[in-house]
Amino acid sequence: MPNVLRLLRIKQWVKNLFVLAPLVFSKRFFDPSSFLLSFTAFLIFCLASSAVYILNDIRDAPLDRLHPKKRNRPIASNRVSVRTAYVVFSILLSASVLMAIEVGLKFLACIVVYLSLNVFYTFWGKYLVLIDVFCIAAGFALRVMGGSYAIRVSPSGWLITSTFFLSLFLGFSKRKAELVSLDGNNHFQRPSLQFYDLDLLTNVVVSTGTGAIVFYTLYTLDVRTIEQFGTDKLYLTVPFVCYGVFRYMFLSMHRGEEDPTDVLTKDRSLWIAIGLWFFSVMMILYLGR
């Protein structure tokens, strides 16, 4: 059972918190029914993402055995059989789809597109330069859209665009860290790395990080945003976003951190910045008047 739980990569579920963003920005955080729907959507994306990770591990097991860290994954180390992995994958996939049907058709469509996108990524997308990171970023955008449809609100174009650029920033930062720490096996492990170079990735990381900050700033200053929330003070949360992006950039460039989840869970400064951002957003949106 511990190895099966490791197969789910529960630590990666933190990425699914993007599903809750529409709940916060629709000012329904304290509405019990909306909160329950949003939490259900979060849980469904957790099941779906774990199913995707299992499929990816089954596909990559031969290469994972050549990697100094990934060879310890349950399937690569033979602590979980491929047959057992397929059973768990089928259960998670079925549960996520069946639960999504209960939430609503638009949310179900997001889950189906998310699963299809990740199947494409697992078998083809990960081998294509730039497309590999765009697939990951699209998955985060689908989380925000799914969170919106779950609580019956229209997805915010600003929020989706900001999320997309932030995800591109994180994805390309990871590729750069992988390229910097390249060893003899990394081109095997991630074939698309052979098409990247440090100059390209440095420029892309800076531009996507800048884009995430700019789009979020424009969202806070937009007239419709001010009218919707009844306050023009949301721009006060921008410095926390800037610090978070720059801090992550620092960690990926100077400490060689690769996995965004590891960076988030290990770095206290990032946790403080995210906490202050969330607290300030809640104060402004819900107590702004």
Q: Domain containing 102 — which CATH number?
A: 1.10.357.140
CB 156 within 8 A of CB 34: no
Do residues 164 and 128 both lie within one domain?
no
The distance in angstroms from the start CA to the end CA of the chain is 51
Render pLDDT for 126-184 as a digit per residue (tens, 0 to 9): 889 999 999 999 999 999 999 999 999 988 889 999 999 999 999 998 888 888 776 54
Final residue before a domain boundary, out of 138, 155, 172: 155
R_g (Cα) of the chain, nearest Å? 19
Element holding 149 (H helix, E strand): helix 131-150
The boundaries of the domain holding residue 255 are: 156-289
Contact at 8 Å (CB) between 20 and 37?
Answer: no
Q: Are residues 227 and 84 in the same domain?
A: no
Please choose, from the candidates 143, 195, 166, 181, the residue with its C-alpha nearest in 3D space to the C-alpha of residue 18.
143
What confidence score (pLDDT) does residue 2 get? 82
Residues 88 and 197 both lie in one domain: no
Same domain, 97 and 182: no
Instruction: Say how far apart CA 180 and CA 210 lie, in whole Å.
Output: 22
The whole-number pLDDT of residue 255 equals 62
Per the structure, the count of domains in the chain is: 2
For residues 140 and 231, state if they share a domain: no
> How far is residue 243's CA from residue 101's CA, in Å, rounded to a whole number?
39
**Are 120 and 60 in the same domain?**
yes
* Claim to verify: residue 118 and residue 179 sit in the same structural domain: no
Write down which residue in 98, 130, 155 finishes a domain.
155
Same domain assignment for residues 55 and 101: yes
Determine the pLDDT at residue 288: 67
Residues 46, 89, single domain; the answer is: yes
Confidence at residue 145, expressed as pLDDT on a 0 to 100 scale: 96
Q: Alpha-carbon distance 77 to 65, whole Å?
A: 7
Q: For residues 69 and 210, state if they share a domain.
A: no
Say what the pLDDT of residue 180 is.
Answer: 77
Domain boundary among 123, 155, 187: 155
Same domain, 76 and 112: yes
**pLDDT score for 234:** 93
What is the pLDDT, as a whole number, of residue 179?
A: 81
Residues 6+ apart with CB under 8 A from 164: 137, 138, 140, 141
Q: Which two structure tokens, joined as six digits, stand for 200? A: 């390209």
Q: Measured between alpha carbons, how far is 147 from 29 in angstroms, rounded to an integer? A: 12
Residue 162's pLDDT is 94
203 vs 8, 176, 180, 207, CA distance in Å? 34, 11, 15, 6
Whether 97 contacts 112, CB under 8 Å:
yes
Q: Check whether residue 144 and residue 227 sit in a common domain.
A: no
Cβ neighbours around 207 below 10 Å, total: 14
| 255: number of Cβ within 10 Å | 12
Using alpha carbons, select from 112, 251, 106 the residue that is nearest to residue 177.
251
Q: What is the pLDDT of residue 98?
A: 97
Give the residue ranges of the chain where pLDDT is below 70: 182-189, 255-260, 288-289
Tokens, residue 268:
């206290």
